[in-house]
Amino acid sequence: MKLLGQFLALSLALPALASNIYITHYDGHVYALALDKDGDALKLTEKQALKTCGAMPSWLTLQEESKILWCTDENTPGTLTPLQIGRNGSIKALAEVTTPPGGVNSAIYPAGNKTFLAVAHYGNASISSFEIPFTGNKTIEPAHVHRFNLSPHGPKPGQEQPRPHQVFLDPKKEYIIAPDLGSDRIRIMKIDKKDGRLNQCGEILYPAGVGPRQGVFMDDGSKLYTVSELEGYLCRHDIAYTDSCLGVKGAGICDVPYTNRTLPKGATLSGIQGVGSTIHVSIRNDTQEGGSIATLHTDGKAIGPVKLTGSGGSIPRTFVVNKQGTMLAVANQASSNVVVFARDPKTGQVGKKLAELKVGKEGKVGAAEGISSIVWAE
């Protein structure tokens, strides 16, 4: 498809007393929200609902220097839409590009003097790469598509094929890490600095049926923490770099991040964030209300006790911590509401609810409906 317009490199300074939050919703919209002071309190309001990013907008990745949100679409075929953030926080679609089906996550990475965006295609057993920004009035296609073999795969429902659920950059910016829920492994993709191609050079294997979903580097990049959706594990791996690939030292250490180390029946882990020595994990369907945020601490050797905070809605699919570490915003998928909590930047503990807003239509638990992702633009 053709570009809709040229990219604008805007120097955006957000208002001192305002903060912009953006969410994707499976109703086909990207919503712009504003978090403002309201007397002694905070107020969350909807500023814009933009019909964009295909039929199933699934994920937003912020390119901070250009103030562009890269939006992936989980539909078949998929789309990739760059959204320019304006000075008032509004968003405008700059292009719409066709991608392989089932895009659910993306990450920006460097290769030489170029920049690329990797997209994890959960529904297509693949990872695509696009050179960004898009330039010129021309048809845009993926620079590369890495398709995984359909076997091996796990034994459980949803594991009929490889299902990369996330892509993220390692601390040295040399590898893309891809948790593969369908194949019970973390795929290590080495970045070719010449052309941005991603080549698998290694993997971290999990027991059959575990289903790793997301991960994060912590402890100065020496540890990789992952959450598994199908068995509910939080795992820690010690990282080791070699000349040829990124690997791990010995076996990983796994535990269940919940009271008595046991998840309630039907509960699943979804997202993970690491801030300092604090780990936050979102847990879906663990309470009658529909979800929790687990907070744990690590000293690089052990993971401390868990503290649970209700997510303020049903099915907390994703969440984000602001740069100062003073707030945590949860995107509850099924109840279709965003809840902003206070957060202690020293202890990492999640505190009281500061603001809340219902956005779009509610979704059914277990269906691809409701809010799908959230990002904070500061």
Predicted confidence at residue 135, as pLDDT, reads: 83
Q: pLDDT > 70: what percent of the chain?
A: 95
Q: How confident is the model at residue 341 (pLDDT cuts 50, 70, 90)?
A: very high
Cβ–Cβ < 8 Å for 95, 110: no
Task: Say whether pLDDT at 150 is over 90.
Answer: no
Q: In which residue are the tokens 């604090």 written?
A: 278
Predicted confidence at residue 151, as pLDDT, reads: 81
Tell me: the pLDDT tens digits for 62-86? 999 999 999 999 999 999 999 999 9
DSSP state of 149: P
* Structure token pair of residue 163: 């299902």
Region 44-58 average pLDDT: 98
Tell me: the pLDDT tens digits for 221-230? 999 999 999 9
State the average pLDDT for the chain: 93
**Which uninterrupted H or E stretch holds 279?**
strand 278-284
3-state secondary structure of 368: coil
d(CA 136, CA 323): 34
Cβ–Cβ < 8 Å for 343, 349: yes
Predicted confidence at residue 299, as pLDDT, reads: 83
Cβ–Cβ < 8 Å for 36, 18: yes
List phi, psi (to 5°) of 261: 55, 35
List phi, psi (to 5°) of 260: 60, 20
d(CA 67, CA 240): 34
Task: Say whether pLDDT at 355 is over 90.
Answer: yes
Q: How confident is the model at residue 18 (pLDDT cuts 50, 70, 90)?
A: low
Query: Rg of the chain over CA atoms, in angstroms?
Result: 19
* Structure token pair of residue 194: 């010449």
Region 230-250 average pLDDT: 95
Tell me: the pLDDT tens digits for 277-336? 999 999 999 988 899 999 999 987 778 889 999 999 999 999 999 999 999 999 999 999
In angstroms, what CA-CA distances link 34 with 4, 83, 315? 26, 17, 22
Q: How confident is the model at residue 51 (pLDDT cuts 50, 70, 90)?
A: very high
Single-letter amino acid code for the residue at 25:
H
Cβ–Cβ < 8 Å for 163, 154: no
Q: What secondary structure does DSSP assign to 304-352, as a single string?
A: ---EEEE-SSS-EEEEEE-TTSSEEEEEETTTTEEEEEEE-TTT--EEE
Cβ–Cβ < 8 Å for 207, 184: yes
Tell me: the pLDDT tens digits for 81-138? 999 999 999 999 999 999 999 999 999 999 999 999 999 999 999 999 999 999 877 7
DSSP state of 212: E
Q: Quick one: CA dihedral 162, 165, 170, 173, positive or negative?
A: positive
Predicted confidence at residue 301, as pLDDT, reads: 75
Q: How confident is the model at residue 158 (pLDDT cuts 50, 70, 90)?
A: very high
